Chain A
Amino acid sequence: MTISDVDLALLRRFEPILKFTHGELFFPMATGPFVEACDLLEGPTLRQATVAIPSGTLDLDRLGAVDDPPAGHSQYLRFVPKPLSAVELARWRNRADAPRFDAPGRLARVGLAARLVDAALVTSLLLRGRVPGGTAAAASIRYDEIRSRDPRMVYHARVRREGPWVVLHYMFFYAMNDWRSTFDGANDHESDWEQCFVILEALPDGDVAPAWFCAAAHDEKGDDLRRRWDDPRLEKSGEHPVVYPGAGSHATYQERGEYIMALPVPGEQNLHGPLNLLRTTWRDTLSQPDPGDLAGKVRSALSVPFVDYARGDGVTIGPGGDHAWTPIPIGDDDGWVDGYRGLWGLDTGDRFAGERAPAGPKYTRTGSVRQAWYDPLGFAGLSKVAPPSRRVADLESRVRVLTAERDAAVAEANGLGDMLPALEQEVAALRETSGLERYTTARAAELAEGESKLGGLRKRAVELTGAIAAAERRVTDLRAGRLEDPRAHLHHASEPEARNEGRRRAHGETWAALSVGLLVAALAVIVWFRILPPVVAVIALFGAYLAIEAFFSRAVQGLVLRISVALGIVTAIILTFEFLREIVLVGLFGLGLILVLDNIAEVRRRRSG
């Protein structure tokens, strides 16, 4: 793919700086050497797949020319033909030049519920397709061999012009996502494509002005992907945005830190109402301490404790960094981009897709074109956003539309206001007339409808007047250079977690690592040998777990106080259940007494008045 010097200059001018975490094994590389080291396989399943084109004969041109596989068959590259054995893996891990990665235990950051979810996910890997152990190590060795021959740090990129916008699309290709095997993350897969965008506004004088930066990390989408160029939390070096790839996952974070991956709780939306009612009853009716956002607490309690480390304390690539970029422009003209719809690494058949390799820069795993490829502005939620220099003009245009709409509403309301009193008089006259019942009913309905419509129009006119005033204030602000909060458009942007450091860290981590397994094993032993009834065993084990957990987090007193309150709640439930009839009767008696006293007081007031 060839691009103009102007576009290449733009790509170089705004190319991002990637700051990796110490311990990272894979860096952005060119696709060519990777493909040349791969086999291309085809088949209905992983076991039945056969090599269609062996490594050594495969290159980007051949990859772009391969036919689509038969329906139901998958087509994928295989970078690692044979994972390391257990002995080889141990030797590789203990090699002298192995980078050391130090992090507090991820399980120590979360509670029991999240650890149980984690245990379920780990167990599910036994049933799902997964990347075999030793693959990441073998991939690292193969990647190092390639890098010794081709040390370039590469981004693939393209430039798209859409109306007033110029989109600089940067794509980073890695030989392997080793998040799970190297950094205790959620998944591994061969090859990895990540991307970010710099969104520019084309100015009338031919120059451009940066407006937005957009980068995707895991579950973010739409508005949450992008940061305004003047956002103080968007780090830049000159005109180069700084990105922090997650260790192993390479997810592109826009702020340095450590991120805990959150799993959405099924039916969470339905929990908000009851939990808020519980909160207000507890806080306002019972005057108890505010428990805070209970739905949020449920969500965080079930957050899967996979930590994405985006520390930025390792290799830096980009202007001023340890390595400079080599840009490779790509586009639909490239055969391997447009023609190859298969996966770029091992297809494990994982139903949750986490352990399957991704497809190429243009396609999803299903073969459809990625939105980020055909509609990058829509992907970043920018289709609805005005370029900076057109904000005032667009808003003034909108004010004119609103004003016209308001004037029309007022005019229609005035017309109705004139007509309805006459109609009301007619209906009043008809009520006293017999033989015209159907006509009367229709006119009465017309009157009611007109009255309702008039009310709606007047309300609409007031709302439009308010909207116009707000828009005019914003026009004034925009003219004065006063913009809204640069993060106002964000809904659920990822926030880095505080680092978990404590004096009891080592013991706490050991406990966190062992707790769920010990809990399950102890439950099995107690129930097997009938030491305690199952319900009592669960309560006892859970209590012991809480006590140990509280000890490590230095919250023993708080735990004991909470247990007291919990026992109070249990007792209240039991008493309510046991004395429901008496409670209802006493309540009714009290209500009757209040009514009698209130009525007597009213009678006395009337007599004395």
Chain B
Amino acid sequence: MQEEVTGAPTSVVRHRPLGILVVVALGLGRLIIEVTALVTVDPSGILGWVAGGSNIPEFAAGTTAWYVGSIGILLVMVATAASVAGLWRYRTWGWSLSLILAGVILAVDLAWWYAGQPRYPGMFLNMVAVFYLNQRDVRAIFLPSSL
């Protein structure tokens, strides 16, 4: 049974837009990558390959940079979980957080690109997410008063 959601048109709730589903799936994927990056020590194997998708650079365990990096991963995890939940429940703050998070990750991706280690798939997906979430139709769902 479809949950009752306040603030979103009934038709939208019944047929959740594909784009929202994709952005939510991207968020869940990011969540899995960051959790894996946090718990995986061995960079080899499938878990290490998944953890390599994290935007936060790897540092030697126990160093200050490692602690800072781990806190960064935690923050991204929490923000991603919140944005996925908010977006799924048609909350305005969920939309804002998703857009801001996509922007933050794009900024990190651009830094990687500037450093000569581009991550084109991530750049492409987050760019599409930004433009999708900023579309008038999507804004009309989350920010009806802004149009």
**Contact digits for B45-87, partner A, Cβ 8 Å, 1 yes 0 no:** 0000000000000000000000000000000000000000000
B39 within 8 A of partner (CB)? no
Choose, from B3-11, B22-30, B133-141, the stretch at the interface: B133-141
- Cα–Cα distance between A568 and B124 once the two chains are bound (Å): 9
What residues on B are CB-neighbors of A290 within 8 Å? 136
Q: Are B134 and A563 touching (Cβ within 8 A)?
A: no
Q: Are B124 and A289 touching (Cβ within 8 A)?
A: no
Q: Are B106 and A561 touching (Cβ within 8 A)?
A: no
CB contacts under 8 Å to B, within A565-579, are: 565, 567-568, 570-572, 574-575, 578-579
Q: Are B127 and A568 touching (Cβ within 8 A)?
A: yes
Q: Are A560 and B134 touching (Cβ within 8 A)?
A: no
**Contact digits for A258-287, partner B, Cβ 8 Å, 1 yes 0 no:** 000000000000000000000000010011
What residues on A are CB-neighbors of B126 within 8 Å? 568, 571
B147 within 8 A of partner (CB)? yes
Q: Taking CB as reference atom, which chain B residue is nearest A288?
A: B134
Q: Are B96 and A561 touching (Cβ within 8 A)?
A: yes
User: With A564-B99, A567-B103 known to touch, is A287 a contact of B136 (CB < 8 Å)?
Assistant: yes
Q: Are A575 and B124 touching (Cβ within 8 A)?
A: yes
A557 within 8 A of partner (CB)? yes
- Cα–Cα distance between A565 and B136 once the two chains are bound (Å): 13
- Cα–Cα distance between A567 and B103 once the two chains are bound (Å): 6
**Contact digits for B92-113, partner A, Cβ 8 Å, 1 yes 0 no:** 0000100110111011011001
**Contact digits for A572-588, partner B, Cβ 8 Å, 1 yes 0 no:** 10110011000000000
Q: A308 to nearest B CB, angstroms?
A: 34
Q: A410 to nearest B CB, angstroms?
A: 50
Q: Are A564 and B130 touching (Cβ within 8 A)?
A: yes
Q: Are B123 and A564 touching (Cβ within 8 A)?
A: no
Q: Are A564 and B127 touching (Cβ within 8 A)?
A: no
What residues on B are CB-neighbors of A557 within 8 Å? 96
What residues on B are CB-neighbors of A561 within 8 Å? 96, 99-100, 103, 134
Interface size on A, residues (CB 8 A): 21
Q: A534 to nearest B CB, angstroms?
A: 15
> Total A-B pairs in contact (CB under 8 Å)?
72
Q: Are B131 and A286 touching (Cβ within 8 A)?
A: yes
Q: A409 to nearest B CB, angstroms?
A: 48
User: With A564-B102, A567-B110 known to touch, is A288 a contact of B127 (CB < 8 Å)?
Assistant: no
- Cα–Cα distance between A431 and B102 once the two chains are bound (Å): 72
Q: Taking CB as reference atom, which chain A residue is nearest B93?
A: A557
User: With A564-B103, A564-B106, A578-B118 known to touch, is A571 a contact of B136 (CB < 8 Å)?
Assistant: no
User: With A288-B131, A571-B126 known to touch, is A578 a contact of B100 (CB < 8 Å)?
Assistant: no
Q: Are B110 and A571 touching (Cβ within 8 A)?
A: yes
- Cα–Cα distance between A557 and B99 once the two chains are bound (Å): 11
What residues on A are CB-neighbors of B99 within 8 Å? 561, 564-565
What residues on B are CB-neighbors of A579 within 8 Å? 120
What residues on A are CB-neighbors of B139 within 8 Å? 289
What residues on A are CB-neighbors of B120 within 8 Å? 575, 578-579
Which of B110, B118, B134, B137 is close to A570, meaning CB atoms less than 8 Å apart? B110
What residues on B are CB-neighbors of A289 within 8 Å? 134, 136, 139, 146-147
Q: Are B130 and A565 touching (Cβ within 8 A)?
A: yes
Q: B105 to nearest A CB, angstroms?
A: 9
Q: Are A571 and B135 touching (Cβ within 8 A)?
A: no
Q: A183 to nearest B CB, angstroms?
A: 38
- Cα–Cα distance between A579 and B118 once the two chains are bound (Å): 13
Q: A156 to nearest B CB, angstroms?
A: 55
What residues on B are CB-neighbors of A565 within 8 Å? 99, 103, 130-131, 134
Q: Are B127 and A560 touching (Cβ within 8 A)?
A: no
What residues on A are CB-neighbors of B127 within 8 Å? 568, 571-572, 575
Q: Are B131 and A567 touching (Cβ within 8 A)?
A: no
Q: Are B147 and A571 touching (Cβ within 8 A)?
A: no
Q: Taking CB as reference atom, which chain A residue is nearest B146?
A: A289
Q: B135 to nearest A CB, angstroms?
A: 4
Q: Taking CB as reference atom, which chain B residue is nearest A571?
A: B127
Can you list 5 A-B contacts (CB < 8 A)? A287-B137, A290-B136, A557-B96, A564-B100, A572-B131
4 nearest A-B residue pairs (beta carbon)? A564-B103, A568-B130, A567-B106, A571-B127
Beyond A563-B103, A564-B102, A574-B123, list 17 extra A-B contacts (CB 8 Å).
Answer: A286-B135, A288-B135, A288-B136, A560-B103, A561-B96, A561-B103, A561-B134, A564-B100, A564-B106, A565-B103, A565-B130, A567-B103, A571-B106, A571-B123, A572-B131, A575-B120, A575-B127
Enumerate chain A interface residues (CB-CB to B < 8 A): 283, 286-290, 557, 560-561, 563-565, 567-568, 570-572, 574-575, 578-579
